[in-house]
């Protein structure tokens, strides 16, 4: 399967949510127009997005909700289980450990790490906070695919490099430092200060 | 001041961080090349980004670190104090209340709200969790500019509409539901499941 452009992936995630709602409501087919309205886009865009992976729709009938759901789940890699480790058991890391609905999408948090000896060994939900000194060994043992990086920004590069070396190829990064990592590691960022600055710019620019 | 395109705003936020580091290190001038290297972009892009708001650089000398820092801070609306309210005192909301470094950038969290009677009245850092029933009155009284929305997705639209009605024009939204709000309300989203799905797609597509 080939990699799809980022904005398309984002729309597929949104379509999936609407499809799941439609499926729950007992709807067996859905039109590109309905998907477009839900996603705030156009029918043409929906058809273009979905045409990437073959043709599903039937003219005048629409898409099979069930088939389209299954196909998008496959494209998004949601047809399997991903092992997720969290590094940093502060407030953000703890929030991620208990994030509602991740497990049912196949994202299983298998470990959480911290450097603070007062935190290591403490229980967090059904996990025990592990010592970040054992990061590499634990990542390999647990076959972690994805890491959530929730450490102070001045430690982010060091931890990210260790994760990459241990075989992690996908990082969700809450730090604000720039990361330099091998090409094959995909990083998505959740940068709170940057988003707030985009908001303060919008307010200031009126 | 006119509103600047989103990718430019994002780069300005990044430049600002490097400029602050340069300033701390006692550097009085900085070249577009240095800023470009820090931001993973080109000198031409830096000069273009900065030319939006007049000319600062001197050929062969570069930009005054101090002047450029002050100017970017002004453009990003960081030359003043913004009152931030958080709605939802669960893990994400609590993490936001204690987010390190926001206050020094001028983002003052002035209130946190929840609907759960077991949470209302509890202390959280130096705040007391307020009842979301009083949201509109408190938002007006506290002159809140920005809201962080950290409520369950099925409540997000309702709370966001109340915030907008009470005068909030900027929302940082952690929910995953689509929001329909008046044009003048700027929304920035922190969508954890969507980012994880972008990562799982990248892993699955290899």
Chain B residues lying within 8 Å of A145, measured CB to CB: 203
- State whether A188 and B176 contact (CB < 8 Å): no
* A59 reaches B (C-beta below 8 A): no
For residue B189, the chain A residue with the least C-alpha distance is A195
Instruction: Kindly list the domain boundaries of chain B, sorted by start residue.
Output: 6-75, 82-195
What is the structure's pLDDT at A50?
84
Give the position of tokens 């967090």: A124
What is the structure's pLDDT at A34?
87
What is the structure's pLDDT at B2?
73
The band of B7, judged by pLDDT with boundaries at 50, 70 and 90, is confident
Length of chain B: 206
A82-195: CATH topology: Rossmann fold (3.40.50)
Task: Please write the tens of the pLDDT for every residue from B122-148.
Answer: 999 999 999 999 999 999 999 999 999
Nearest chain B Cα distance for residue A59, angstroms: 28
What is the structure's pLDDT at B32?
87
Cross-chain CB nearest to A95 (options B92, B195, B204): B92
Within the 115-134 window of chain A, which residues sit less than 8 Å (CB to CB) from chain B?
A: none
CA angle centred on B182, ends B179 and B184, rounded to 5°: 115
Which sign does the torsion angle of CA A155, A157, A162, A166 carry? positive
Q: Mean pLDDT, to the nearest integer, of B41-48?
A: 88
Read off the tokens for A60.
Answer: 């005048």
Is residue B60 predicted with pLDDT exceeding 80?
Answer: no
Report which of B63, B123, B65 is spatially closest to residue B89, judged by C-alpha positions. Answer: B123
Under DSSP, is residue A108 helix (H, G, I), strand (E, B) or coil? Answer: strand
Task: Please write the tens of the pLDDT for every residue from A59-86.
Answer: 667 888 999 999 999 999 999 999 999 9
Q: Mean pLDDT, to the nearest integer, of A99-113?
A: 93
State the count of interchain CB pairs (< 8 A) between A and B: 187
For chain B, give the mean pLDDT: 91
Is residue A2 predicted with pLDDT exceeding 80?
Answer: no
Q: Which numeric CATH code is attached to B6-75?
A: 1.10.10.10
A201 vs A34, residue with greater confidence: A201
ipTM value for the complex: 0.94
Contact of B192 with A8, CB cutoff 8 Å: no
Query: Which long-range contacts (C-beta less than 8 Å, at least 24 apart) are formed by B2-11?
Result: B2/A205, B3/A201, B3/A202, B3/A205, B3/A206, B4/A201, B4/A205, B4/B52, B4/B75, B6/A198, B8/B49, B8/B52, B9/A197, B9/A198, B9/A201, B9/B76, B10/A194, B10/A198, B11/B39, B11/B41, B11/B45, B11/B49
Chain B residues lying within 8 Å of A82, measured CB to CB: 200, 203
For A62: left if phi > 0, alpha if psi spans -120 to 50, otherwise beta; the answer is: left
Task: Please write the tens of the pLDDT for every residue from A159-170.
Answer: 999 999 999 999
Is residue B161 predicted with pLDDT exceeding 70?
Answer: yes
Question: What is the pTM (predicted TM-score) of this model?
Answer: 0.90
Is residue A55 predicted with pLDDT exceeding 70?
Answer: no
Nearest-10 Cα torsion for B116, B118, B124, B128: 80
CA angle centred on B128, ends B124 and B131, rounded to 5°: 120
Task: Please write the tens of the pLDDT for every residue from B71-111.
Answer: 999 999 999 999 999 999 999 999 999 888 899 999 999 99
What is the structure's pLDDT at B159?
98
Task: Please write the tens of the pLDDT for every residue from A124-133.
Answer: 999 999 999 9
């Amino acid at each position: 399967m080939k990699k799809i452009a980022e904005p398309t992936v984002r729309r597929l995630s949104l379509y999936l949510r609407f499809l799941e709602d439609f499926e729950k409501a007992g709807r067996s087919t859905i039109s590109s127009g309905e998907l477009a309205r839900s996603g705030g886009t156009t029918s043409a865009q929906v058809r273009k997005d979905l045409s990437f992976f073959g043709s599903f729709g039937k003219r005048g009938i629409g898409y099979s909700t069930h088939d389209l759901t299954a196909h998008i789940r496959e494209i998004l890699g949601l047809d399997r289980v991903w092992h997720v480790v969290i590094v940093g058991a502060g407030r953000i890391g703890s929030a991620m450990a208990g994030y509602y609905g991740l497990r049912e999408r196949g994202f299983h948090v298998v470990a959480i790490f911290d450097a603070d000896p007062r935190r290591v060994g403490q229980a967090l939900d059904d996990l025990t906070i592990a010592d970040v000194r054992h990061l590499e060994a634990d990542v390999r043992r647990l076959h972690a695919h994805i890491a959530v990086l929730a450490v102070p920004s001045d430690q982010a590069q060091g931890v990210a490099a260790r994760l990459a070396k241990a075989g992690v190829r996908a990082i969700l990064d809450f730090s604000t430092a720039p990361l330099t990592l091998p090409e094959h590691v995909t990083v998505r960022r959740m940068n709170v200060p940057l988003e707030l600055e985009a908001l303060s710019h919008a307010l200031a620019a009126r």
